Structure 1
Amino acid sequence: MSDSDNSTAVGFTRDDIDAILSACRIVGAGSPNLPYPNLLIYDLIVKYADWIDSVNYNFTPEDLTAEFGTRPQDAPVMIDFLGGVDVMGPFLVAVADNGALLPHPGTTTIIVPLFIALTVISSIAVVLRIWSRQMLAGGLKLFDHLTILAFFMTVAWGAVAVHHSKNNGKYQAYWDVSWNTLRQHYKIYLILTAFYPWVMAVIKMSLLVLYYQLSKMNYIKWAVFATGAITIGNSIAGFFFAIFACSPVAWWDDFLQEPCKLNQRAGLVATGAIYILTDIATWALPIPLIFQLKLGTREKILAICTFAIGTVACIASGFRLDAILKYQDFSADSSSPLLIDAWTIIELNIALICGCAPMIRALIIFYAPKIITSVSTATTTSKSIPEDIASNGDEKLEHVS
């Protein structure tokens, strides 16, 4: 799933890697006005190390501002974050001197093929759903239009995720990218995080509106209302949390002032867990509807199995939640959240495909007898052709004689 070059650290402990990753963000954020916007952060650390050595490890916040363009309010904070003057100097020099030992984990390459494959499958599912509704139901209704909207939103989310994967470049470690690249990464990830709740909300609402219109049982309708209210509420909370967890919203431009007061991973885990609960409720709601239909036992079992496909979406949601726990915050194992993007693409597309499954099943049931009849007729005709030819031939011969 990833390209890697010297992906294993030699001579560094996990704590060392964590400390160096943290220092890379601090040094990058503390040097926003350098005339090297695309300079790799490791090369920037080398410049710091050379300068620190040239001033005999004695420098002040004002010196950082004059030499590297560090904002006056950021310079003392930067020094404090890196352990003070007595620690910052030797630490950055040691990192610069041991750069050859740093690992270079590659960026995952799964995003683009995953996006293409699932978009193709989702497109087929949505087209078959529209065909089914036009042929068997006389046209599209509100829940169908919501599904179409959800499809385009899912494609848009995936396209931004592809851009996110391309922005990171070949390598994911902070020392292998520039601060400009990191800034873009944070910006794109904020867009993805804020947009995701609305995509999920529309997918779920397309199913809930369908259940509401199909059901004549009041308790099912109330359950639909409750699930819908929780879904919408969770989506609103997820959106505003993504936008306002940090102040200012463009927190990467004020990185050293600790703009993020709320735990972003905890917020994403909370909204993700609630989505899993509403997933379970959404896919369980049709079961009472099936039992109120006048169907044989076999047909009811098949109908339940069709809706039970939705459990796959619940499983995908679980894997996405696990990815958030592992990759939302950087560590020695990974400094990229792209696997969160990958599982989100899977989750959204599977939910969309599962939502189309009942309509596709209806289309298959409608056309299967006709296809079987056509095949049977064709087979019968092909078997009778030699006899017809022989008979016609005899008649012609008799007529000639």
Structure 2
Amino acid sequence: MSSSETLDGDSIVAILSASVLIGASSPKYPNLRILDLIRKYSDYILANNYTIKAEDLTKYFGTPPPDAPLLIAALGGEESMAAFLTAVIQVEDIIPHPTSPDIVLPLFIALTAMTSIAVGLRIYSRHLVAGGVKAPDWFTVAGYLMTIAWGVVAILHSRATGHYQAYWDKTWHSLRESYLTYLTLTAFYPWVMMMIKFSLLLFYYEVTPSRYFAVRWAIYGTTFIVVGNTIASFFVTLFSCQPVNYWDHLLYDPCKANLKTALIVFGVIYIVTDVLIWVLPMPLVFQLKLKTRERVLAIITFGIGLVACVASGFRVDAIIKYQNYSSQSSSSLMIDAWTIIELNLALICGCAPAIRALVMYYAPKILDSVATSNLLTKSASDDNQAVENDKSDDGAGEVADESEKPDPQAEVKPA
């Protein structure tokens, strides 16, 4: 077949779907690349006059007897299954082999380093400026540790995914591990996000005077939405497929709910809560007696949280594109990447007010130190200049005195 030919999108999706079913239904070959496994099926079919029976699947590929008829039915019947699997091998030369993006580990290292600095500065600031570490800070530390844990699992997911992203380039063992780690990430994510949002909401509650009852009720309402969204997201993720290890029961149509749609809805709700959390402190900023410059700085400090909103939007976009396999991609690593960005930016933005307080605490001292240093430098420079001027004057006087002294060797002549 000509190398210039390409498979259309429907054909790629059909081969992806068949690869998952063949891999899941061939327990004798869990560590064989699925495309090579399909070749084994094709060789068997060709050797047996284009026929394959349920008992053959059990005998030669280890398919459980109850699953064998279901596999044949899922692939359109015995004749269609035989024709399709042999056709896959015939077009093997033009089957694409897209690679997975190598992005999770570098992102994790870079953003964890930045977040560690931000959280460390927050804790130091609270200890130095605010009189000690309080409940919101402990929620931040908990969110930070949970974010690191999430990132570690994402790295495991990246390794399970491997170099190639298409299902036919994986083994069933690696594909199964990828399903497990991704389910873990998806179920764990809402709890990490809730912890980070709790740290901000509790901080706002502590700094909001009781007379601002509307703001406090808004904090209660936002907290209720966050908790409800977290619990719903966790249970929908965990039980949208029954049993939970749905990858071992793919022939039984275990996933009744549309998890992709649910994750998009939950993601949008989190974006709404991000906006609410950004808006909550604004009434305080505008009602406090602040100079214009200080008010603008306060708005900017709290407004940094909009950066996390943008990252959340990109994460939802990644879910739309990569949650389910398609002819364009069968890798969910971009969802992992945007989630790492979102969680770390949320932590960094949450630390911004404390870091600003630390800067304001040290700024006068630094400015005084710089001013004192400049004054001492100028004074020393003036003293040095004065000494140089004195030396210059002394030198000129000595020359003048020397020129006026009589020469002792000179002959004195009588007048």
TM over 0.5: yes
Partner of 2:306 in structure 1? 311
Maintained 8 Å contact 2:42/2:82: yes
Looking at structure 2, the residues matched to 16 and 124 of structure 1 have their Cα atoms a distance apart, in angstroms, of 49
Amino acid at match of 1:77: L
Aligned partner of 1:51: which letter? Y
Residue deviations 1:30-65, cap 9 Å, x none?
A: 112x1x321000000000000011111222212211
Aligned to 2:72: 79
Q: List aligned pairs for 1:199-348, cutoff 5 A.
A: 199-216=192-209, 217-348=212-343
| Distance across 2 between alignment mates of 1:318 and 1:386 | 58
Give distance in 1, aligned partners of 2:154 and 2:312.
17
Q: Is residue 34 of structure 2 the alignment partner of residue 16 of structure 1?
A: no
Indicate how the Cα distance of structure 1 residues 114 and 9 shifts in structure 2: closer, same or farther if over 3 A, else same: farther
Q: How does 1:48-59 map to 2 (within 5 A)?
A: 48-59=41-52
- Contact kept, 8 Å, 1:37 with 1:178, in 2: the verdict is yes
Q: Give the aligned residue type for 1:231.
A: V
What TM-score do the two structures reach when normalised by structure 1? 0.93
Stretch deviating more after TM superposition (189-198 or 11-20): 11-20
- After superposition, residues 17-56 of structure 1 pair within 5 angstroms as 17-32=12-27, 34=28, 36-56=29-49
- Residue 107 (structure 1) aligned with residue 100 (structure 2): yes
Aligned amino acid, residue 93 of structure 1: T
Q: Give the structure 1 partner of residue 89 of structure 2.
A: 96
* CA distance in structure 2 between the partners assigned to 1:152 and 1:9 by the alignment: 50
**Structure 2: runs of 5+ lacking an equivalent:** 395-415
Q: 1:387 Cα deviation (Å)?
A: 3.6
RMSD value, Cα: 1.7
The answer for the alignment partner of 2:399 in structure 1 is: none
Letter in 2 for 1:141: K
Pair 1:372–1:9, CA change in 2 (3 A): farther
The residue aligned with 1:351 is 346
**Alignment-mate amino acid for residue 255 of structure 1:** L
Give the AA of the match of 1:82. Answer: L
| Equivalences for residues 143-158 of structure 1 within 5 A | 143-158=136-151
Moved more, 370-379 or 117-126: 370-379
- Quick one: distance in 1 between partners of 2:4 and 2:332? 20
Q: Distance in 2 between matches of 1:308 and 1:10?
A: 52
Corresponding position: 1:372 with 2:367: yes
d(CA) in 2 for partners of 1:306, 1:387: 43
2:153 matched to which residue of 1?
160
Aligned residue identity for 2:62: G
Q: C-alpha deviations, 1:302-323, integer Å up to 9, x for none? A: 1011111111111110110000
| Per-residue Cα deviation, 1:230-260 (whole angstroms, up to 9, x for no partner) | 1011001111111111111111111211111
1:127 and 2:120 equivalent?
Answer: yes
Query: Structure 2-normalised TM-score?
Result: 0.90
Deviation at 1:371, TM superposition (A): 1.1
Give the C-alpha shift of residue 97 in structure 1: 2.1
Unaligned runs of 5+ in 1: 1-7
Deviations, residues 336-374 of structure 1 (Å, cap 9, x unaligned): 000000000011011110001111111111111211221
2-structure distance, mates of 1:290, 1:390 = 52
In structure 1, how many angstroms separate the alpha carbons of the residues matched to 2:5 and 2:237? 37
Contact 2:264 / 2:319 at 8 angstroms: preserved in 1?
A: yes
Residues 52 and 82 in structure 2, CA contact (< 8 A), matched pair in contact too: no
Match of 1:3 in 2: none
SS in structure 1 opposite 2:12? helix
Give the drift of 1:389: 5.0
Conservation of the 8 A alpha-carbon contact between 1:9 and 1:103: no
Paired residue type of 2:269? I
**In the superposition, relative to structure 1, how do residues 323 and 76 fare at CA in structure 2: closer, same or farther (>3 Å)?**
same
Alpha-carbon distance in structure 2 between the residues aligned to 1:181 and 1:156: 21
Alignment of 1:1-12 (within 5 A): 10-12=5-7
Match of 1:136 among 125, 129, 139: 129
Distance 1:169 1:58 in 2: 34
The code of the aligned residue for 1:203 comes to: I
- Match of 1:105, SS state, is coil
C-alpha separation between the residues in 2 aligned to 1:387 and 1:267?
74
1:9 Cα deviation from its structure 2 partner: 8.8
Q: In structure 1, what residue type is equivalent to 2:272? A: L
1:390 positional shift: 6.6
- 1:194 and 2:224 equivalent? no
- Aligned: 1:362 with 2:357: yes
Q: Is the contact made by 2:23 and 2:30 (CA closer than 8 Å) also made in structure 1?
A: no
**DSSP 3-state at the match of 1:332:** coil
Residue by residue over 1:104-123, the C-alpha shift from the partner in whole angstroms, topping out at 9 and shown as x without a partner, is: 11110111111111111111
- Alpha-carbon distance between aligned partners in 1 of 2:251 and 2:226, rounded to the nearest angstrom: 35
Question: Residues of 1 paired with 2:386 and 2:319: CA distance?
Answer: 75
Higher deviation after alignment, 253-262 or 190-199: 253-262
Runs of 4 or more above 3 Å deviation = 386-395
Measured in 2, the distance between the counterparts of 1:386 and 1:207 equals 51
User: What's the offset of the Cα at 1:297?
Assistant: 2.0
Q: Bigger CA drift: 333-342 or 258-267?
A: 258-267
Whole-Å Cα distance in 1 between the matches of residues 5 and 303 of structure 2?
Answer: 48
TM superposition shift of 1:205:
0.7
Separation in structure 1 between the aligned mates of residue 226 and residue 300 of structure 2, nearest angstrom: 24
Rounded to whole Å, the distance in 1 between the matches of 2:10 and 2:32 is 25
Aligned residues of 1:10 and 1:103 also touching (Cα < 8 A): no
CA distance in 2, matches of 1:60, 1:389: 102
Alignment check: 8 A CA contact 1:194 1:239 kept? yes
